[in-house]
């Protein structure tokens, strides 16, 4: 049974046309469903885009979302990846405060442990790039909070099914 607060990662393949993203996001907002994250880009076929949409809801809400998405003419395929064997990733940029060289060194050690990258160095901040699943991203953010996060930019989660 699906719980009210369970996140669902929905993959929606659509025609790559102007207005499709607006129609799909409008479908969610018109029904009062919040999108926790949304990533969209062209696929290997430039006429088709794939959207990764993360939403929260129970079975009834998810069923309504599928029905409404499948009614849209530009939608090719809707798939809930949550219960499928899938790969999920998110890209995060963290701008972290660095007061002195010992703090900077401690942050660099954590960056290495998480297999992240430092992509910008300034006098008072380091900008870290991290790619991973939700638990890895959340763990890194929690650790960086102790140093003081100046800014977080997240792409939202993307996902694909594993080949069988």
3-state secondary structure labels for all residues of 72-139 = CCCEEEEEECCCCCEEEEEEEEEEEECCCHHHHHHHHHHHHHCCCEEEEECCCEEEEEEEECHHHHHH
pLDDT range class, residue 132, cuts 50, 70, 90: very high
pLDDT at 151: 97
Q: Which pairs from 19-23 meet CB under 8 Å and 24+ separation?
A: 20/49, 20/72, 20/74, 21/51, 23/72, 23/74
Residues 126 and 82: beta-carbon distance below 8 Å:
no
Assign domain 7-83 to a CATH class. alpha beta
Of the two residues 141 and 8, the one the predictor is more confident about is 141
**Four-CA torsion 103, 105, 111, 117, nearest 10 degrees:** 110
Q: Which fold would CATH assign to domain 87-161?
A: Alpha-Beta Plaits (3.30.70)
Q: Is residue 31 scored above 70 in pLDDT?
A: yes
Can you say whether residue 156 is alpha, beta or left, with left for phi > 0 and alpha for psi between -120 and 50 degrees?
A: left
pLDDT in tens, 32-64: 888 999 999 999 999 999 999 999 888 888 888
Residues 6+ apart with CB under 8 A from 49: 13, 14, 15, 16, 20, 40, 41, 42, 43
pLDDT in tens, 8-20: 899 999 999 999 9
Residue with tokens 């499928």: 84
Which token pair is 48? 């088709």
pLDDT at 10: 93
pLDDT range class, residue 2, cuts 50, 70, 90: very low
Q: Does the pTM exceed 0.85?
A: no
CATH 3.30.70.260 residue ranges of the chain are 7-83
pLDDT in tens, 86-122: 999 999 999 999 988 899 999 999 999 999 999 999 9
pLDDT at 57: 82
CATH 3.30.70.1150 residue ranges of the chain are 87-161
pLDDT in tens, 74-92: 999 999 998 889 999 999 9
């Amino acid at each position: 049974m699906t719980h009210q607060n369970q996140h669902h990662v929905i993959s929606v393949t659509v025609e790559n046309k102007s207005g499709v993203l607006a129609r799909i996001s409008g479908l969610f907002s018109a029904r009062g469903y919040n999108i926790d994250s949304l990533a969209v880009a062209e696929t290997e076929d430039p006429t088709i885009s794939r959207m990764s949409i993360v939403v929260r809801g129970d079975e009834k809400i998810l069923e309504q979302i599928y029905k409404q998405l499948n009614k849209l003419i530009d939608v090719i395929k809707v798939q809930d990846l949550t219960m499928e064997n899938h790969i999920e990733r998110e890209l995060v940029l963290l701008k972290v405060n660095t007061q002195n060289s010992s703090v900077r060194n401690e942050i660099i050690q954590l960056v290495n442990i998480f297999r992240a990258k430092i992509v910008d160095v300034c006098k008072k901040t380091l900008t870290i790039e991290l790619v991973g699943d939700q638990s890895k991203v959340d763990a890194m953010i929690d650790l960086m909070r102790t140093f003081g996060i100046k800014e977080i930019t997240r792409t939202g989660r993307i996902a694909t099914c594993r080949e069988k």
